[in-house]
Amino acid sequence: MTKTSIFLLILISGFTFILGYNLNTNPSEVVNQPTTSNSVQTFNWKMVTTWPPNFPIFQEGIEQMAKDIEVMSDGRLKIKVFAGGELVPALQTFDAVSQGTVEMGHGASYYWAGKIPEAQFMSSVPFGMTTKGMNAWLYFGGGLELWQEIYKPFNVIPFPAGNTGIQMGGWFNKKINNINDLKGLKMRIPGLGGKVLAKAGGTPILLAGGEVYTALERGVIDATEWVGPFHDQRLGLNRAAKYYYYPGWHEPGTSFELAINTKAWAKLPPDLQKIIEVATYSVNQRIYSEMEVRNIEALQELDKKIEILAFPAEVLNEFKRLTKIVLDDEAKKNPDFKKIYSAYSKFQQNNADWSTISTDAYGKLIK
Ligand code: CA
């Protein structure tokens, strides 16, 4: 090879290199890429829940929400759902979300009462609001903003995500005719309801769902609350006690939460964030509506099998009086609790004024 041909070869190679370089950085090529890299990114998230595997309506409802999100996001956000105990113990879901071990959690905020006592107002408190009041307060009455504020130090963003509707007062093996019948009564009733029972002379017992039936059937406890006709019948409680009391004064409209880790949320593009937000509205309505239908069906069956009784007014009035004492005591000790209690009570009172002349008046009319 002559010196000239070597020179030409270098020149051609150099030209090709420059041409190739130019082709790869051609601005029009960049513009023609599908869109930004962010919008085609796929997210694989994990959600843990406080519910047992396959738990009807609650676990099933939130699994449906995860499927809906995958479809709506065209597969860009996939959420694998784990029931309580499958990845972390049921009552550690909040910590798992807070620490970022998982991106999402589903449960009820009163489970975190030991850590955040005022969070109980975001699920249910004795003699608190029913579902309609809870949804109104959370979505448009300032409740959700307060909820976001109290979860912020834990790096968790909450969304309302389901509601049980008003629960039942519970299953009893003896009749409750007056407040003296509560003395020494051993009842499975968690949280603030349990504190009220203790003030009334009873003994609240903490039991996980799986132990409730056996404890009642063997007389380890005299009474238990659980959820409502549908879930109670599935647990077999109608075979372990004679009397089914109403109303569920201790849980008048328990709201569920979807908890999301703040850092994980910030990584999502706005369209995926919006899909999640809208999906929580959907699951909130879905779980509540399904509860209503299943309870209607189960009540018809239970009505034939057991005695369904109202708590005497004297007993309910005493529970109500003691509830105020329990909540006021807590507010004196804890300014954060006091702040939420005060906002909640104000909305509840206004809501009650409206309900008296709307749903309550109409309910009496059509009975
Ligand atoms: Ca309950």
Ligand 1 mean position, distance from CA 100 (Å): 29
Q: What is the pLDDT of residues 74-123, one digit of tens each?
A: 999 999 999 999 999 999 999 999 999 999 999 999 999 999 999 999 99
- Find the 68 Cα to ligand 1 centroid distance in Å: 28
pLDDT digits (tens, 9 = 90+) for 286-315: 999 999 999 999 999 998 889 999 999 999
Distance 342 CA to ligand 1 centre (A): 24
Q: Any idea where the domains of the chain sit in the sequence?
A: 43-163+254-293, 170-252+297-334
pLDDT band at 20 (very low <50, low <70, confident <90, very high): very low
What is the four-CA torsion angle of 198, 216, 110, 114, rounded to 10 degrees?
Answer: 60
Q: Is the dihedral of CA 293, 295, 299, 305 positive or negative?
A: positive
DSSP for 20-57 reads HHHHHT-HHHHHTSSS-TGGG--EEEEEEESSPTT-TT
CA of 268 to the centre of ligand 1 (A): 35
Q: Name the class of domain 170-252+297-334.
A: alpha beta
Residue 170 CA to ligand 1 centre (angstroms): 9
Nearest 5°: the CA angle 99, 49, 55 is: 170
Average pLDDT, whole number, for the chain? 91
Distant-in-sequence, close-in-space partners of 42: CB < 8 Å, separation ≥ 6: 75, 76, 77, 78
Per CATH, 43-163+254-293 and 170-252+297-334 having the same topology is answered yes
Amino acid 39: pLDDT: 52
Tens of pLDDT along 35-77? 555 558 999 999 999 999 999 999 999 999 999 999 999 999 9
Asked whether the whole model's pTM tops 0.85, one would answer yes
What local confidence, expressed as pLDDT, does residue 209 receive? 81
Find the 227 Cα to ligand 1 centroid distance in Å. Answer: 4
Q: State the distance from the centre of ligand 1 to the C-alpha of 251, rounded, in angstroms.
A: 6
* pLDDT tops 90 at residue 206: no
SS3 content of the chain, % helix, strand, coil (to 5): 55, 15, 30
CATH code of the domain occupying 43-163+254-293 = 3.40.190.170
The alpha carbon of 19 and the centre of ligand 1 are apart by a number of angstroms equal to: 72
